[in-house]
Structure formats: C-alpha cells, structure tokens
Amino acid sequence: MAFPSQTIINGIKMSLKTNPVLCVEGVTDRKFFKSRENPNRSKVDKNVIVRACFGLENVSEIIPIIEEFLQSKNGENFNDCFGVIDWDYNWYHSRLPKLSSNIHHHDANNLESFVLFQEQIIKHFNESGASSENQFAVQCSEQIGYLRCINHKLKKKWRFKVSKSDSNIRSELIDLFSRNIEDQNLEAFRLGALKLYKMDIKEFNNHVLIIEQSTHYSQARIVNGKDLFSFIKRCHNDSTYENIEKRFTNEMFQTTSLSKHFTKWGISNS
C-alpha cells in the first residue's frame, strides 16, 4: 500500500459524513469510475467519492471495517460504503474470501479487460483498419494470460512486470511480440514465452486444457487487459487506451451488471 491502511480508513469515515464512498483497487480504477455517468444524468464523482485503496485485499478488508463502524453509529447520519474489485485469476483458483454484499467484482480479469471485451468495443476492433494486428495482440495476450493463471495456481513467482516500470509487462515479451507482428506467428510467440519461463509445451497445453474447461473461463477473464493494451500500443501509439476508453460510453456502461449494482446500492441517484 502507498499509505497506512488506517489513514485510508480514517479518510473514508470522514467522507461518509457527507457522501457515499466507492472503494476501488487502484488509481486507474478511480479515474475510470469518476468519469462514469449514472443513469439519471449526474457523474458518479458528483455524488460519490471514489477512493483508491491500493489492492484487492485492502478493499476486501476495509469494507467490513467500515460496515462495523457504521453499525456502531446507528442513528447518526452517515452514508454507505461500497467496493469494486477485479476478478484477476481468482475465478479459477477460488481464493477470494467470502465478500461483503457491498463488494462486487466485475465480470473480467481487470478493469481494462472489462472495457476491451464489451461487445461494441470488440466490433470496433474487428472493423478497424488494423483488425488482424489487433486480433494477434489479443491472441498473444491470451497466451500470457494462461501463463499468469498457471503462475497463480502453482505459486511459481514468475515475473511478468519489471518493478519500478510504467510498463505492465516485461520488455522481453514486448520484444517477442514485436518480432512476430509482421508474420503474426502465434506459435513462435508462444514458444518464445514458454522458453522465457522455462516451461515445457506439453505441460503448458495440459494446463490450458484444464483452464478452458473451468466453469468460469472466458477470454475476458484470462486476458489481463493491461497486457493487451501494451501489445496494442506497440502496434499503434500511446493514445490507444484513451481512444478505446472514449468509445466505451457512459450509455454502454449503464447496460453492464456493474452499473446495475450502483443502482442496487442506491448510489446512482442524481
């Protein structure tokens, strides 16, 4: 965490005197939710304070603490606190603890995947002038997603991101992707990635088969959206994420189960 947990908790308690609070994992999540409009017109950040808690575990731990605090203040005029977390690879490993009913996970690996795998965004990808490059980026991200899933399951401690780097994915994987864009050689990319992590292709394929047979498997859950954006950015430019996020309109957001949870929680009123 960037700050002591008690600092975040105390800040939330203060905020609840005047506003509901939505707890999210990170700064990019906070930016996303602050820009969403609710069904009645007002922006979320006009009536809800969005607080970055720096991790899934922190959101999962902070919400029950705040709920206990609110119960102790019964009769006093405090607003409610809610949380949104990523699926990550917990859909496969079932590592998520029992969550408060005030915590919801969206239906994707992370928030970037949640945006990218919306039907209308996929349609835009397929109809763009670089659709084959975009599809190759998705396929390569999927292979890395399998490796990430295996890593979590077997507790391998494989390194996917360079610490103290703005990039979500290590440079060796970006370079591997770049070398295979022109021919779109997925097999070469896969074998190069497996070599990097010293994994046998047969063992990898066996894991992939089991993963894909999981009840909760989907492409949006296996692909880390940050990985995909890193590959797409290599194909195009640095503004790719912003352009895609702009296409994910507030009207589109309002049709998702995530937005419907806001309504259920009573925090979508103008």
Q: Give the model confidence (pLDDT) of 25-54 as tens digits.
A: 999 899 888 887 555 545 554 478 999 999
The C-alpha atoms of residue 257 and residue 253 are separated, in whole angstroms, by 9
Q: Which token pair is 215?
A: 């009840």
For residue 40, the model assigns a pLDDT of 54
Quick count: other Cβ atoms within 10 Å of Cβ 249?
Answer: 12
If you count them, how many residues does the chain have?
A: 270
End-to-end CA distance of the chain: 33
pLDDT at 143 over 50: yes
The C-alpha atoms of residue 228 and residue 264 are separated, in whole angstroms, by 32
CA angle 226, 89, 68 (to 5 degrees): 100
CA angle 124, 125, 130 (to 5 degrees): 125
Helix (H) / strand (E) containing 63: helix 56-72
pLDDT at 61 over 50: yes
pTM to 2 decimals? 0.89
Q: Are 63 and 12 in contact (CB under 8 A)?
A: no
Least confident interval from 110-124, 221-235, 249-263: 249-263
Mean pLDDT, residues 2-24 = 87
For residue 270, the model assigns a pLDDT of 40
Which range is most confident: 45-54, 156-165, 221-230? 221-230
Q: How confident is the model at residue 72 (pLDDT cuts 50, 70, 90)?
A: very high
Q: How confident is the model at residue 219 (pLDDT cuts 50, 70, 90)?
A: very high
- The strand pair at 81-85 and 49-52 is best described as unpaired
pLDDT at 67 over 90: yes
